[in-house]
Structure 1
Amino acid sequence: MKPNEAKTAVAHLVEERVPLFLWGPPGIGKSSIVRQIAEEKGIGFVDLRLSLLDPTDLRGIPFFDQQAHKAVWAPPAFLPDGSVAEGILFLDELNTAAPMVQASAYQLILDRKIGEYELPEGWAIVAAGNRESDRGVVYRMPAPLANRFVHLRMQSDPAQWRRWATERGIDPAIVGFIAARPDALFMFDATSSHRSFATPRSWEYVDKILKSTPEAELLMPLIAGSIGEELAAEFLSWRAAAKDLPDVEALLEGETCGIPEDPNALHVLASMILQRIDADTPKERLEYLLAYLMELPPEFSVMIVKELQHKGVLLEKSPRFKTWIQKFAYLLT
């Protein structure tokens, strides 16, 4: 299931308070999409890393109630207390937790209560974890616990990731590189002994490394520490070849700009244009952009226009768009 599809499915199940388990390899954004759902709905969000908990941390600590003359359990402060009416209790890394912790979580998931604690009515339970084949330390989930969840399997998708990265302002060189090498977005090999490998999460680290403007001699080891040496060398070589680009702002002001010949540069240029243009861009600037796109190699021109339409940019209202359609109609059928 692609990230956008997984996000939509999770949102539906959260509405109905149906417990679900989101499976997927490391670094593809499982926890991120659950947090985004909570933020977009304006509801509470509690993230519990069960692999860091002891069984008593989840169940609470017993103490003697002198008035009732019995032992009761003091629920942990990190569980939702009802002060927020609706929310998501996110049990991350559930299948990496020790069996005794899973047993404690079992009662919370099955009965929505544990010890003296009861989960507020408006809260949904979402769990996530890596697959057993992902070289992580995982414990097989007991069948009764597994049967309590709806299970969704999530995978990375380069096209969706590029759109997200463009909206987030990820370095255009990264977005362009993934456009040219979609397989480089996720290169996890469970049989490899390498500690660093490419995932959507590690490419975000590369973006932060580039934005920190490190010294030239540090760039390679820092990026290699995020995505691995071989891919880091390929990315930096690709980035160097694509650095001579036209000024996008000048292009949108109607100034004459050259067309890069290097396909690598064209991928980066496409990413820069997509980051600069949105639904509020004035018509005059769109006219200048379409005039420039008329001169680009056809596959890049069509790719940029399709991505702009996906962002909600109404190119159809531009007089020049009809001319563009006539020129590239053979690629649109």
Structure 2
Amino acid sequence: MQSAVTVTPADLPEVLLHVAVVRPVFLWGAPGIGKSSLVREFAASLGFDCVSLLGTQLAPEDLIGVPQIADGRSRFCPPEQIARDEPYCLFLDELNAASPDVQKAFYSLILDRRIGSYELPAGSVVIGAGNRATDNALARPMSSALANRLVHVHLRASAADWLAWAMRSGIHPWIVEYLTQRPDHLWSAPPKSEEPFSTPRSWHMLSDTLASYGDTLTGENAADTVALLAYGTLTPTHAAAFLAYLKTVRNAYGLDAILKGDARWPAAPADRDLLYFLAETFRARLVKELPADRKHASASVRQFAFRAKALLVELAEISLEIAQLVIAEGDDGELRLPGWFLVEAAQDMPRLVAARARK
């Protein structure tokens, strides 16, 4: 299921506070963007216990309970973890990955807040969560009867929200600094092949493993160890860029120094990964700083654009392929850089090349 309207992790608690307290909610989102953690944090904010049921590990009888005979009549006894006296948050994780029979068992619990003769305590909230079929994750079609019993909320990853959380939560400084420069690398779409991919969860895992190694990562074999960890948790292109970023830190390279003229593009063949990372960061800076319309460009922005064109010439002298990546279209065929800048760059390039030749 897809939606044109999504919420960020920072927006979600307010939505749940008004919606989940009156109607059951289903939270859609890609793997690893923090759905489960956000639900637990929401429950804690209400002072509720969060009881998690994992749809893929349940059978119908796990919900309905087992029958007992009392006064010559049978009645079903729901599981102890569900049958509570105080209000709580019932979290149905991976609900849409459950078998059809298990999904059916949830119907009365979700809509009527009842299992057999047991009714959820007043004030309890019911929240489900799951991945989308397009995420290459385990997901079964949700029946119309179940879908119609839920308010559907779609969560998207937000670099700004995650970085604010990361700085409060002790995430490794290398990761915070890197994603501050490359927020677009926080999340990538799940691949069709079996390989790691970048999510807020995988960056958190990388942070934990880096912290576990501690100061030993400053030794001779540090680069190999960090590479092992990065490629074991992130999308391969993001892992390579992260390693190149660490190389800039260790070698006092930086895009700001290149923009100011205090450093040059690294030209050694051994630094090709570093050059690629700096070029990608350069492109991201251009996308961020240059307005869509030249009329909205201040004097400082026009000066930055002129310097950027000169740097493109210098970059092309080292690697035409990497220079072309800076100005290339996105994967969707749309221009990443504003058209006015690309036109000016094409017009000014011969003059800039000639000026370089006279130096």
- The aligned amino acid for 1:196 is P
1:17–1:125 CA contact under 8 A, matched in 2: no
1:238–1:264 CA contact under 8 A, matched in 2: no
* Aligned 1:1-333 pairs, distance under 5 A: 1-14=7-20, 16-65=21-70, 68-82=71-85, 85-190=86-191, 192-213=192-213, 216=222, 217-243=224-250, 262-263=254-255
Residues of 1 paired with 2:230 and 2:118: CA distance? 46
- The aligned amino acid for 1:239 is L
5+ residue gaps, structure 2, are 1-6, 259-284, 286-299, 302-359
1:242–1:264 CA contact under 8 A, matched in 2: no
Residues of 2 paired with 1:57 and 1:159: CA distance? 40
Structure 1 residue 219 displacement after superposition: 2.8
CA offsets 1:58-111 (integer angstroms, 9 cap, x no match): 11011222xx112211211111411xx332111110000011000001111121
**More moved, 215-224 vs 68-77:** 215-224
Residues of 2 paired with 1:173 and 1:184: CA distance? 14
5+ residue gaps, structure 1, are 245-259, 267-299, 301-329
**More moved, 71-80 vs 212-221:** 212-221
Residues of 1 paired with 2:247 and 2:209: CA distance? 16
- The aligned amino acid for 2:16 is V
Change (3 A) 1:144 1:223: same
Residues of 1 paired with 2:92 and 2:76: CA distance? 21
1:46–1:80 CA contact under 8 A, matched in 2: no
Structure index of larger Rg? 2
Structure 1 residue 265 displacement after superposition: 9.6
Residues of 2 paired with 1:235 and 1:80: CA distance? 48
| Residue 295 of structure 1: aligned partner | none
2:83–2:118 CA contact under 8 A, matched in 1: no
State how many pairs are aligned: 250
Residues of 1 paired with 2:58 and 2:177: CA distance? 41
Residues of 1 paired with 2:229 and 2:257: CA distance? 23
Residues of 1 paired with 2:47 and 2:90: CA distance? 14
Change (3 A) 1:11 1:195: farther
Question: What TM-score comes out, normalization by structure 2 length?
Answer: 0.65
Residues of 2 paired with 1:264 and 1:69: CA distance? 81
Change (3 A) 1:196 1:261: closer
Change (3 A) 1:185 1:163: same
- 2:229 counterpart SS class: helix
2:59–2:102 CA contact under 8 A, matched in 1: yes
- The aligned amino acid for 1:174 is I
| Aligned sequence identity (%) | 38
Residues of 1 paired with 2:63 and 2:24: CA distance? 18
Structure 1 residue 117 displacement after superposition: 2.2
- The aligned amino acid for 1:203 is W
| Residue 279 of structure 2: aligned partner | none
